[in-house]
Amino acid sequence: MAFSSMRIGKRYRLINYGEKSEFILLEIVGRNEYKLKDLFSMESYLMSDLTQYGRGDDFELREIHD
């Protein structure tokens, strides 16, 4: 899935360099920059915090459907 396909209010799972994050998209703050809220810790952060070291071989972004 491409970042540009993400929608506000939807939940996503991102795997990158072995780290798994699940979050809800709160706001689009710029080109390819998003404000996220972690589904477990409820902490808010930016997408760039998750991708600051680039994309690993295991990079995967998926919408969560429950």
For tokens 């997408």, name the residue. 47
Domain ranges of the chain: 3-63
Q: Please tell me the distance from the alpha carbon of residue 2 to that of residue 60, in angstroms, as a whole number.
A: 10
Name the CATH topology of 3-63: SH3 type barrels. (2.30.30)
Q: What pLDDT shows up at residue 38?
A: 96
Predicted pLDDT of residue 5:
86
Cβ burial of 34 (10 Å; 0-12, 13-18, 19+) is buried
Q: What is the dihedral of CA 33, 39, 43, 48, to 10 degrees?
A: -20
| Nearest partner of 23 among 54, 53, 61, 52, judged by Cα | 61
Query: So what's the pLDDT on residue 35?
Result: 97
pLDDT by residue for the chain (66 residues), tens only, comes to: 788 789 999 999 999 999 999 999 999 998 889 999 999 999 999 999 999 989 899 999 999 997
Whole-model pTM: value is: 0.89
